[in-house]
A and B are shown apart, each in its own frame.
Chain A
């Protein structure tokens, strides 16, 4: 291949020397070809790198940021020639310089006047080019015939896989290795299929099984074990970036992400056909309605990071809010195409893909698929009986509400001016935003889950005072974008008493105001005034009967209460304040703030005064029309409503999963689309402020040039996701099937057939065994799409069963020369097994298992490996404070609560996946910090003690204990020398230290 290229170059060079200079060069085809091949990729109408497009005559002549391209003056050549010639030309950027012949052609063409016929439009040649292995259809590959190979090699092969492997090895003069020992195979199988070591009983049973199919039986048994799903789900979760927190700034908890993790485990255990597994994760709600897994699978879309601040604290109208949502969609698109198709589509966000035939349009059409979904909690799996009860209670509530509406109407009929007054109040309120607010916000009660909770705060004036007026000044707090009127009760009453004991008996109180029958219009920060009627009181109590909403919860907050005597003096200033409860979080919130003389002031004082007057008028009117009979009715309605709501709250909650959602309870600026997709534009350089043309839902074109889905105009957002899901699982899809085969292969052999598992594009690797890949892909696709069958096929092969020794090349062959090390040191052609270090989870799970502490309970919320502090704002995950004896944490590592921004340092040191990015393959490092972790981490130290206790319980003598512990840890018999050395140590330093040492053996953390 190389030599042909060289010859061509020489040929061109020769031609250039002789003929090229004289002939006139026509734009079409010569120059057009050069531009299309080398320039239009970046300089097109969409991308316009350097402000230049070479797609048409007009745009080309206009030039770019650096100037006009083709103009020549006496002493300088044209800008274009300057850019493309010389020893280190600036263009084409990041590519080989243009061959001299092409530069010469351009020179001639420019010298002749740069004639570009207006009708000729150029296209990016690259985009039509699908001449790349992964974009070609999957080939029907025949299993290679081995008849030309030596007999021992033919006998070595066990499965079709081995035929492909031998065939490839023969090409390079490589020979396979012998089978590993049973001991080694057993440990390899247990870790590869379950991620756990075998128990001594299992070791014994397998080593003593004389059946010729002992190995295959073990494989079947392990594949049937529920622990298999736990092991393989972890691989999948690595790829999709699963974690139990949101990441980014605050790294808030995602308490309901885990049902998706369990869904993956269950799907692998029940061996769900792969296309179903794929479809559920993109559009399960649409394609498999009313199924549990149809919702749970959507956890995939929501598995990655999510910026709380950018969504909740910044509105979608603001640029930062738009950017946050744009990045979130990018994350969904990237996750989907990386995971299922091994395509790096994210490269086309700011410009057309530099290496693969994908444009920004294709990329943004994929964003349009996810344009209506956000990451939020959505319900699943509600049982029918609860459903029924819920329906009944909802009806009951509606009936109560209609009686309430009737009463409200009646009140309005009695005082028709109320309507106009309420309208006036609504109009005035926005005019009274605060300019300045003191840092002392006011009084704030505890937060409760129901609005119908009574809260009170009370002032002791210290003496009896004749009250003229009482003024409530509301709070202002940006929290949850509430602002003015924060925490102001929906319904309340104001009472006075001479003795605080009197508040127990309502009848003896002075009722200054009763606003408990209908909702009080939120006054924003306008003062709310009540008549004191000159009544004498010492205590004043504000009791809220309906609390104000905060964020899926409720509370009472008031900035200041003024009590004015007949002189107009505020007698409450500095008085004693008590309350049912108070969050006491100075300086913002504390009881004493209620009487500190500080509250947020309005900007428009006129509006403020007017609002005060109107509110006063409304209050007076309202008090007049509320007859004792109406108050009685109101109380009954309230009591019933409270009872019904309590009953509803007591119903079992629908389970929720953090997943793709279009309908969820809003949180400040984070609001559901209700299924209405956001409009998606192609963004110039990925910049939200430079929108280009709008795009419809689509994907990358792999089959023809069509990329937008053929959907009717009345399409729902779900139709878009369903179309993408069905496109991915098309039987003729060139990427989907190869991608999953490659992932499985990678986890079994330590290297994929394609070594870049998330990138099958031109920047990725080519397959070492393309025919084997295609053969497995078509077998898998056409015969049930069973992953377990695929595992079986792989681990039963002779290829998998080889030893990892370098000197165990298959003997008994005429040619005994071993070329493998020199030809293929990296073992790309699998002439031996690859020794591997155990992954973080396998190490932790092994330690738990051999220490006798492993609790095999499956599923449910993740357990903490940290102390959680301050979860209400920015959670602190304090790993160093965690107590490793906590038995809740003695479960498999796949069930730990995974924190994204503040990951577990122990697991990180052992190279666990970073959930901020897709991890198709773990790193494998051996650092001194890792050594320190395995020696000194409190988990290891604690488990060393448990391990020692276990050994001491099983055996009498220290000698036996050491032997027993060793065999538990390594699944093999201890040698005499090892026994001696460990005994010397154990006698001197005890069994615990000895067990700790076993966790640090290379043999403990490596499998051959």
Chain B
């Protein structure tokens, strides 16, 4: 039965790539699209969103966690305060670090969760966990599940777009947005705006191909493939195939326009920190460069959302190599987190405000997440080790109660304040699916004998952050 259902599913998917597997939503949705901001390498909650006066008071004193702990690397240094000052923002008075101050203008639209807990301090497994809900490879990304369930809102762009860090992939690369056992059309499509073909194979890079040869080619293919299909009238796949070429032609027209930010007015470019395009940057990691790259991705995300792309995933941070080009600040928080956080905050704040002024924020769900947090103690120097025990997520947009903080970490930011009731990735995912009109327990696919869900066998709605 299940296999039969899957076959039908696949057929349905083939016959119309724009249709989702859910014929009817489980309940009325609050949002229709999603932006996920993913910080690769593990971003420190303590230096951006989760203010800890205790660390300022006890800075430099030997750290004492009251229990034996085991960290990813060795050596537990003294308590270490953030190199940055915190200040209150918005009506909600949310304390933010000065490196993410641009987000101060948005805090009254944001809901912070400071007691998110992970299961592992290993980058790869932790990235998988936050991206797919499972620690091991072989599971679909959240965007794939949502694309699979809800289908596309447009007919000329991908449903699920991924904007990787321009320097390269974070841990696990494209496996974080793979469709795994879901139909291939639900996988994320990567866009590298700076490449000659920003979407793989969007345009033919060959001298012998011209606009005219393409136009005539599409027409002749339609004819010849149509003849083949007419002789096999019962096979709907052949019809879908003809349609897939029509969609491809539409995408060739739509995608370059969607990615072209040159038509944006000056004040919008400035908002995203893109008023100095074409500047050259030093070799060391620096804020202006991070602002430009992250801002560009955020602006493109807005243009895609406007054009009815369902799910946009934006990555910050390359792999864990040297010199650091991601958030894995074992050596020096100020050096790496400074530029990365500034770039992220400028871009993310612009995106939220821009969506809001266009009336899109109330139907778009924004999630900021990372692999895990970082320790309140140093590693002997000015860096922090991995902290899988607690970290911060924030959400914003459709259905989210702005200006809220739910779930606290303890006075050090070491573990959840209430250790028995942490927030887990399953709860975040369940809540997001809920806002999209999906009951996370009902969205299942049978795979190798198990009815798989994004939330495995877990997940509770976080009512406290909902409107």
**Closest residue to B181 on the A side, CB-wise?**
A917
Known: A248-B137, A249-B171, A756-B449. A914 touches B180 (CB 8 A): yes
Distance in angstroms between the alpha carbons of A901 and B131 in the assembled complex: 14
Distance in angstroms between the alpha carbons of A291 and B139 in the assembled complex: 38
> At the interface, yes or no: B202 with Cβ under 8 Å from chain A?
yes
Q: Are the CB atoms of A985 and B3 closer together than 8 Å? A: no
Distance in angstroms between the alpha carbons of A982 and B251 in the assembled complex: 26
Q: Are the CB atoms of A439 and B332 closer together than 8 Å? A: yes
Chain A's nearest CB lies how many Å from the CB of B379? 9
Q: Which residues of A contact B171 (CB under 8 A)?
A: 248-250
Distance in angstroms between the alpha carbons of A989 and B218 in the assembled complex: 13
Distance in angstroms between the alpha carbons of A999 and B234 in the assembled complex: 23
**Closest residue to A919 on the B side, CB-wise?**
B181
Query: Interface segment, B119-127, B355-363, B390-398?
Result: B119-127
Q: Which residues of A contact B200 (CB under 8 A)?
A: 879-880, 905-906, 909, 929, 932-933, 937
A916 interface neighbour in B17, B138, B234, B323, Cβ under 8 Å: B138
Chain A's nearest CB lies how many Å from the CB of B280? 19
**Closest residue to B71 on the A side, CB-wise?**
A318
**Closest residue to A434 on the B side, CB-wise?**
B380
Chain A's nearest CB lies how many Å from the CB of B267? 34
Q: Are the CB atoms of B216 and A988 closer together than 8 Å? A: yes
> At the interface, yes or no: B87 with Cβ under 8 Å from chain A?
no
> At the interface, yes or no: A314 with Cβ under 8 Å from chain B?
yes
B17 interface neighbour in A837, A905, A927, A993, Cβ under 8 Å: A927
B204 interface neighbour in A761, A917, A935, Cβ under 8 Å: A935
Give the contact-size bracket for chain B: 35 or more
Distance in angstroms between the alpha carbons of A494 and B337 in the assembled complex: 43
> At the interface, yes or no: B83 with Cβ under 8 Å from chain A?
no
Give the contact-size bracket for chain A: 35 or more
Within B210-242, the residues touching A (CB, 8 Å) are 210, 212-213, 216-217, 220-221, 223-225, 228-229, 232, 234-235, 237-238, 240-242
Q: Which residues of A contact B245 (CB under 8 A)?
A: 928, 931, 1000
Q: Are the CB atoms of A996 and B217 closer together than 8 Å? A: yes
Q: Interface readout for B144-173 with A: 1 if CB under 8 Å, 0 if not?
A: 000000000000001000000000110111
Q: Which residues of A contact B2 (CB under 8 A)?
A: 756, 763, 765
**Closest residue to B237 on the A side, CB-wise?**
A926
**Closest residue to A251 on the B side, CB-wise?**
B173
Distance in angstroms between the alpha carbons of A310 and B186 in the assembled complex: 30
Distance in angstroms between the alpha carbons of A977 and B232 in the assembled complex: 19
Known: A764-B449, A874-B320, A1006-B238. A320 touches B158 (CB 8 A): no
> At the interface, yes or no: A911 with Cβ under 8 Å from chain B?
yes
Q: Which residues of B contact A1001 (CB under 8 A)?
A: 221, 224-225, 228
Distance in angstroms between the alpha carbons of A1006 and B122 in the assembled complex: 44
**Closest residue to A764 on the B side, CB-wise?**
B449
Q: Are the CB atoms of B448 and A758 closer together than 8 Å? A: yes
Q: Are the CB atoms of A309 and B209 closer together than 8 Å? A: no
Chain B's nearest CB lies how many Å from the CB of A936? 4
Chain A's nearest CB lies how many Å from the CB of B174? 6
Q: Are the CB atoms of B204 and A936 closer together than 8 Å? A: yes
> At the interface, yes or no: B460 with Cβ under 8 Å from chain A?
no
Q: Which residues of B contact A588 (CB under 8 A)?
A: 322
**Closest residue to A762 on the B side, CB-wise?**
B449
Q: Are the CB atoms of B120 and A759 closer together than 8 Å? A: no
Distance in angstroms between the alpha carbons of A930 and B245 in the assembled complex: 9
Distance in angstroms between the alpha carbons of A763 and B6 in the assembled complex: 14
Q: Interface readout for A495-530 with B: 1 if CB under 8 Å, 0 if not?
A: 000000000000000000000000000000000000
> At the interface, yes or no: A870 with Cβ under 8 Å from chain B?
yes
Q: Are the CB atoms of A989 and B212 closer together than 8 Å? A: yes
Known: A756-B3, A874-B320. A248 touches B201 (CB 8 A): no
Chain B's nearest CB lies how many Å from the CB of A973? 15
Query: Interface segment, B7-15, B345-353, B404-412?
Result: B7-15
Q: Which residues of B contact A567 (CB under 8 A)?
A: none
Q: Are the CB atoms of B237 and A837 closer together than 8 Å? A: yes
Q: Are the CB atoms of A925 and B3 closer together than 8 Å? A: no
Distance in angstroms between the alpha carbons of A314 and B220 in the assembled complex: 59
Distance in angstroms between the alpha carbons of A826 and B200 in the assembled complex: 35
Distance in angstroms between the alpha carbons of A470 and B216 in the assembled complex: 79
Q: Are the CB atoms of A933 and B201 closer together than 8 Å? A: yes
> At the interface, yes or no: A876 with Cβ under 8 Å from chain B?
yes
Q: Which residues of A contact B247 (CB under 8 A)?
A: 928, 931
Distance in angstroms between the alpha carbons of A436 and B379 in the assembled complex: 8
Q: Which residues of A contact B248 (CB under 8 A)?
A: 928-929, 931-932, 935
Distance in angstroms between the alpha carbons of A905 and B175 in the assembled complex: 12
Known: A307-B125, A935-B201. A874 touches B321 (CB 8 A): yes
Q: Are the CB atoms of A901 and B137 closer together than 8 Å? A: yes
Distance in angstroms between the alpha carbons of A945 and B135 in the assembled complex: 45
> At the interface, yes or no: A75 with Cβ under 8 Å from chain B?
no
Within A980-1001, the residues touching B (CB, 8 Å) are 981-982, 985, 988-990, 992-993, 996-997, 1000-1001
Q: Which residues of A contact B185 (CB under 8 A)?
A: 925, 927, 929
Known: A989-B210, A1006-B238. A347 touches B123 (CB 8 A): no
Chain B's nearest CB lies how many Å from the CB of A541? 29
Q: Are the CB atoms of B175 and A924 closer together than 8 Å? A: no
Q: Interface readout for A893-912 with B: 1 if CB under 8 Å, 0 if not?
A: 00000001111011011010
In the assembled complex, 10 residue pairs joining A and B whose CB atoms fall closer than 8 Å, in A order, are: A247-B137, A478-B73, A761-B449, A763-B449, A804-B232, A905-B200, A923-B183, A924-B14, A925-B14, A992-B208
The 3 closest A-B pairs by CB, nearest first: A249-B124, A917-B138, A344-B449
Q: Apart from A327-B135, A992-B206, A993-B213, what 8 extra A-B contacts exist at CB < 8 Å?
A: A873-B321, A901-B175, A905-B174, A918-B448, A931-B247, A932-B251, A989-B208, A1002-B238
B residues with a Cβ closer than 8 A to A are 2-4, 7, 10, 13-14, 17, 70, 72-73, 77, 120-125, 127, 135-138, 158, 168-169, 171-175, 178, 180-181, 183-185, 187, 189-190, 195, 197, 199-206, 208-210, 212-213, 216-217, 220-221, 223-225, 228-229, 232, 234-235, 237-238, 240-242, 244-245, 247-248, 250-252, 319-323, 331-332, 380-381, 446, 448-450
